[in-house]
Amino acid sequence: MLIAIPDLLDPAALVRVRAIVDAAEWVDGNVTSGHQSALAKRNEQLPEESAAAREAGRIVLDALGRSPLFFAATLPLKVFPPLFNRYGVGQTFGTHVDNAIRIQRGTDFRIRADISVTLFLANEGDYDGGELVIEDLFGAQRVKLPAGHAVVYPSSSLHHVTPVTRGTRVASFFWLQSMVRDDSARRILYDVDRSVQAVAADKGQGDPTVIQLTGVYHNLLRRWADA
């Protein structure tokens, strides 16, 4: 399931994050790569243990907690601390699948990566190329969103970033373990949730249909959730 999350970062938060990461020191992006990714990855990254990554990451995590759409789309159980990368001219990330298990360096925190998230931090007109291309059942989906917008997609999907040909692409990326492991089940829950919200907006929260649909949603979640 591929879902765009508009305005995950509001303009003020976006300015704060960019000020932090733009002033930081960047390193080779392969510091967090698995073997397969290292063969295909050509970009820069903030060290995950750096003060800048942690400060900017806290802003991103705060934004996640305020987004009902993000929660509905992902049903997060555990979120890996956000990381940050940038691509200059000629840099790219070839086709790969994200590692199934992500371990935070120097800690015992680990997650099963069910969902990958890319949060765009540069406006579309600031660079050429740099599209996130995600392969799914309907073919290759090309994603390039405005700054502050995010996209969530299955970590199991093949995906790549096309070469940047002008400017600089800056983004945050991270993974999460969902309460619902199965992507098709998350899709059903997301569709039911959106339907509940639409009917509630039309008829009010106390309408019998809304109450019944809400019960269906929670009973499905009860059946499929790990936690």
Q: Where in the chain do CATH 2.60.120.620 domains reside?
A: 3-178
C-alpha span between 61 and 206 (Å, rounded): 32
Tens-digit pLDDT profile for residues 60-71: 999 999 999 999
Q: Which fold has domain 3-178?
A: Jelly Rolls (2.60.120)
d(CA 134, CA 2): 9
The predicted pLDDT at position 45 comes to 96
Q: Which amino acid is at 154?
A: P
- Hey, what CATH topology would domain 183-224 get? DNA Excision Repair, Uvrb; Chain A (4.10.860)
pLDDT grade for 38, boundaries at 50, 70 and 90: low
CATH 4.10.860 in the chain, residue ranges: 183-224
The conformation of residue 107, written as its DSSP 8-state character, comes to S
Who contacts 2 (Cβ-Cβ below 8 Å, separation ≥6)? 134, 136, 141, 143, 151, 152, 153, 154
Give the count of beta carbons closer than 10 Å to the beta carbon of residue 41: 22
- Using the 8-state DSSP alphabet, how is residue 180 labeled? S
Categorize the per-residue pLDDT at 137 as very low, low, confident or very high, splitting at 50, 70 and 90. confident
Position 74 scores a pLDDT of 98
Residue 91: pLDDT above 90? yes
149-183 tens-digit pLDDT: 999 999 999 999 999 999 999 999 999 999 999 99
What pLDDT is attached to residue 139?
87
pLDDT above 60 for 37: no
Q: What are the CA-CA distances from residue 119 to residues 78, 96, 150 (Å)? A: 17, 18, 4
Residue 150 sits at φ, ψ, to 5 deg, of: -130, 160
Per residue in 188-225, pLDDT (tens digit) is 999 999 999 999 999 999 999 999 999 999 999 999 99
AA letter at 38: A
